[in-house]
Amino acid sequence: MKRKAVIAVGLALVALFVWLRRSGNERPEPPRAKVSLAGEARTNMPLPVSEQQTNRVSVPPVYLVELNRFIAAAKPYGLEQIKPEDVSAAGEDRGRFMVETKTHIAEFFTKGLAVPRLHHFIAVQDASNPVATPEGKRDAMRQWYQATGKWSGEEALAETYRIMKELGIQLAVSRHEVDAQELRMKNPQGETVPVTPFYKIELFNMNGNMSIQAEFRVGEAGPGRLTMWWANVPASK
């Protein structure tokens, strides 16, 4: 069941990413050089102010308000806030609204809701499965040796519940699963070091269906910070 749930989430993310890339009519972008996403994140210099204003993607303010409310509660890895000028793509499709920046993708449920509800959030380069070309994935994975901070599965589970409380999410949990795999990575000196970069949490409702999935990344020091969030439960506030 766990494998099917993870595969389903992965396929949903791939579909989301492809949809965003193909929605050219809803989000005009300036031409870009053909480089990996990881390389683009490192080398793309800020546009002049005039070009930023010309190419800015229009996003209804409510989505940025809800997204930044989530960021304030979840404290994602390497992210403090998303501003309007950070948005590189946005659009709505069949009751869902997607927001993309160079570093993150967020998906909201909108159908029948007075206020959009965040469904899926991912750091495209910092998560365990980077949204990138094969060379971009390799670039991202080369940084995992830095995950020398100490953390635990119990702390990751507690952090998941803390985020749920901050967001007003109430869920009767029948069981949970924790996945924290130790990896052996090479540092720049060529030494192989044992690290545990990612802690993954899955919470299941009383029907046995996965309702919350969270992934945290550890850096040179703890605690772990969120790199992926998937929620299929309503918020109570």
Please give the backbone phi and psi of residue 186, each rounded to the nearest 5 degrees, phi first: -95, 135
Question: Which pLDDT value is given to residue 38?
Answer: 34
Cα separation of 187 and 142, whole Å?
8
Average pLDDT of the residues of the chain:
82
Picking from 100, 90, 98, 94, the residue whose alpha carbon sits closest to that of residue 112 is: 94
pTM: 0.76
Q: What is the mean pLDDT of residues 24-33?
A: 38
pLDDT digits (tens, 9 = 90+) for 134-185: 888 999 999 999 999 999 999 999 999 999 999 999 999 999 999 999 999 9
Please give the backbone phi and psi of residue 168, each rounded to the nearest 5 degrees, phi first: 75, 25
Domain ranges of the chain: 2-231
Q: 160 or 35: whose pLDDT is higher? A: 160
Report yes or no: 128 and 140 within 8 Å, Cβ to Cβ.
no
